[in-house]
Amino acid sequence: MLTCRQVPDALEKEPKSFKDKVQLRLHLFICERCRALESQYKAISIGLKRLIDTAPPANPELIKKVLEDFKNRKKD
Protein backbone atom coordinates (compact mmCIF):
# COMPACT_ATOMS: atom_id res chain seq x y z
CA MET A 1 0.00 0.00 0.00
CA LEU A 2 1.36 3.42 -0.96
CA THR A 3 1.85 6.08 1.68
CA CYS A 4 0.62 9.63 1.00
CA ARG A 5 4.23 10.75 0.65
CA GLN A 6 4.81 8.23 -2.16
CA VAL A 7 1.78 9.43 -4.14
CA PRO A 8 3.42 12.42 -5.93
CA ASP A 9 6.14 10.19 -7.38
CA ALA A 10 3.57 7.52 -8.30
CA LEU A 11 1.55 10.18 -10.15
CA GLU A 12 4.63 11.15 -12.21
CA LYS A 13 5.64 7.60 -13.13
CA GLU A 14 5.01 6.82 -16.81
CA PRO A 15 4.28 4.26 -18.06
CA LYS A 16 2.60 2.79 -15.01
CA SER A 17 2.50 -0.98 -14.65
CA PHE A 18 -0.79 -2.68 -13.79
CA LYS A 19 0.43 -3.02 -10.19
CA ASP A 20 1.37 0.72 -10.05
CA LYS A 21 -2.08 1.67 -11.35
CA VAL A 22 -3.93 -0.53 -8.86
CA GLN A 23 -1.85 0.71 -5.92
CA LEU A 24 -2.35 4.34 -6.92
CA ARG A 25 -6.09 4.05 -7.64
CA LEU A 26 -6.66 2.18 -4.38
CA HIS A 27 -4.84 4.85 -2.41
CA LEU A 28 -6.71 7.67 -4.15
CA PHE A 29 -10.01 5.89 -3.56
CA ILE A 30 -9.54 5.92 0.20
CA CYS A 31 -7.55 9.18 0.63
CA GLU A 32 -9.38 12.44 0.05
CA ARG A 33 -6.28 14.57 0.61
CA CYS A 34 -4.30 12.73 -2.05
CA ARG A 35 -7.26 13.12 -4.42
CA ALA A 36 -7.04 16.85 -3.72
CA LEU A 37 -3.31 16.68 -4.49
CA GLU A 38 -4.01 14.89 -7.77
CA SER A 39 -6.46 17.69 -8.72
CA GLN A 40 -3.77 20.25 -7.90
CA TYR A 41 -1.32 18.48 -10.20
CA LYS A 42 -3.89 18.42 -13.00
CA ALA A 43 -4.65 22.12 -12.48
CA ILE A 44 -0.93 22.93 -12.65
CA SER A 45 -0.50 20.95 -15.88
CA ILE A 46 -3.48 22.74 -17.44
CA GLY A 47 -2.08 26.09 -16.28
CA LEU A 48 1.35 25.36 -17.76
CA LYS A 49 -0.15 24.28 -21.08
CA ARG A 50 -2.23 27.45 -21.15
CA LEU A 51 0.88 29.49 -20.43
CA ILE A 52 2.50 28.06 -23.57
CA ASP A 53 -0.69 28.30 -25.66
CA THR A 54 -1.24 31.94 -24.75
CA ALA A 55 2.40 32.95 -25.30
CA PRO A 56 2.59 35.46 -28.16
CA PRO A 57 3.07 33.87 -31.59
CA ALA A 58 6.45 34.09 -33.26
CA ASN A 59 7.06 37.07 -35.48
CA PRO A 60 6.52 35.85 -39.10
CA GLU A 61 9.85 37.50 -39.93
CA LEU A 62 11.55 34.98 -37.66
CA ILE A 63 10.48 32.06 -39.84
CA LYS A 64 11.81 33.94 -42.89
CA LYS A 65 15.13 34.63 -41.12
CA VAL A 66 15.57 30.97 -40.13
CA LEU A 67 14.81 29.79 -43.68
CA GLU A 68 17.14 32.46 -45.08
CA ASP A 69 19.97 31.30 -42.77
CA PHE A 70 19.34 27.74 -43.90
CA LYS A 71 19.52 28.70 -47.60
CA ASN A 72 22.74 30.68 -47.05
CA ARG A 73 24.26 27.71 -45.22
CA LYS A 74 23.29 25.39 -48.09
CA LYS A 75 25.00 27.73 -50.60
CA ASP A 76 28.22 27.69 -48.54
Please list every residue from 4 through 63 that binds other proteins, using CB under 8 A: 4-6, 8-9, 12-14, 31-34, 36-37, 39-41, 43-59, 62-63
Per-residue b or e along 12-26, where b marks 16 or more CB atoms closer than 10 Å to that residue's CB: eeeeeeeeeeebbee
**CB of 59: closest distance to other proteins in angstroms?**
6
Per-residue b or e along 37-55, where b marks 16 or more CB atoms closer than 10 Å to that residue's CB: bbeeeeeeeeeeeeeeeee
Residues near other proteins (CB under 8 A) are 3-6, 8-9, 12-14, 31-34, 36-37, 39-41, 43-59, 62-63, 65-67, 69-70, 73-74
